[in-house]
Amino acid sequence: MSEPSFAFVASDTDEAQAARARLEERYASVSPNHADIIVALGGDGFVLETLHRYLSRGVPIYGMNCGTVGFLMNIYEEDGLPERLRRAEVQTLRPLRMSVRCRTGHTSEALAINEVSLIRQSRQAAKIRISIDGVRRMEELVCDGVLVSTPAGSTAYNLSAHGPIVPLGSSLLAITPISAFRPRRWRGALLPNTARIGFEVLDPDKRPVSATADFTEVRDIETVDIHEDSEVELKLLFDPEHNLEERIVKEQFQP
């Protein structure tokens, strides 16, 4: 059996670009459009961009950390890369699909691997109504915003907003308020990944709100519908000793 071909892509930072140059000099590589595996050099944000960019190809992404946090990345090491790729374990992620209607009547869709977030656009707090599977569950959330997170994204913005860390394989989605004013004690909800979540912006003229799926932002929205897209699969590769599920468990015991 022939060895899988791989390509290197890198973020714009000097560190990542220098790493790419060294690796391309050391290893035979091909174009990302023809590779069996894409090696992404950068941080978590860059690996998300890479997953989105090559979504249609369906090839696995192996990240090596040349960024800051690197939660979704493997340790950067130049030696033995082909062997690491052979040993790497696959983690399949399913993104959220965001469907938005704006105040102008325009509609659009986007995929989110980490989260969909709604954020106020003005100095005034947003007022948002929440429905689950067509049933109104909260008439009015007064807040800076609210987000829906996948398990893989639960340690990102969701965790910063004091949302729960959700283990992979739990088949759950997390709804987390951002600086909730009313109801002040509401801390969010955990829902099955089959749930369809609806947000309605109340008084959008006076209290405008934007919606962002990872890095795709839509402004001046009226409604947002979110569900896990079970037909889309994204594959990340991890060294066996640094798999994503272990990182999520480990993160819950950090001081």
Q: Is the predicted pLDDT of residue 165 greater than 60, yes or no?
A: yes
Rounded to two decimals, the pTM is: 0.86
Q: Where are the beta strands (DSSP E) in 6-120?
A: 6-10, 37-42, 61-65, 89-93, 96-102, 107-112, 115-120
- What is the percent of the chain where pLDDT is above 70? 98
Q: Is the predicted pLDDT of residue 51 greater than 70, yes or no?
A: yes
Q: Is the predicted pLDDT of residue 81 greater than 70, yes or no?
A: yes
| Whether the bond into 183 is cis, omega within 30 of 0 | yes
Count CB-CB contacts under 10 A for residue 152. 24
Q: For the chain, give the mean pLDDT.
A: 93
Please report which residue ranges of the chain form alpha helices under DSSP H.
Answer: 14-26, 44-53, 81-87, 157-160, 244-251
**pLDDT confidence tier of residue 6, bands split at 50, 70 and 90:** very high
State whether 29 and 106 are in the same domain: no
pLDDT at position 123, please?
95
State whether 115 and 79 are in the same domain: no
CA distance to 95, 107, 137, per residue, from 193 (Å)? 11, 24, 17
Question: What letter does residue 81 receive in the DSSP assignment?
Answer: H
Closest CA to 197 of 179, 219, 176: 176
State whether 57 and 169 are in the same domain: no
Q: In the chain, how many domains are there?
A: 2
pLDDT at position 241, please?
79
| CA separation for the pair 228, 62 (Å, rounded) | 23
Q: Of the residues 14, 44, 205, 239, which is catalytic?
A: 44
| CA separation for the pair 75, 73 (Å, rounded) | 7
44 noted as active-site residue = yes
pLDDT at position 243, please?
66
Q: Is the predicted pLDDT of residue 20 greater than 70, yes or no?
A: yes
State whether 111 and 219 are in the same domain: yes
Domain hosting residue 78, numbered range: 6-93+233-251
State whether 183 and 216 are in the same domain: yes
Q: Is the predicted pLDDT of residue 13 greater than 70, yes or no?
A: yes
- Kindly state the average pLDDT of the residues 143-155: 94
State whether 108 and 143 are in the same domain: yes
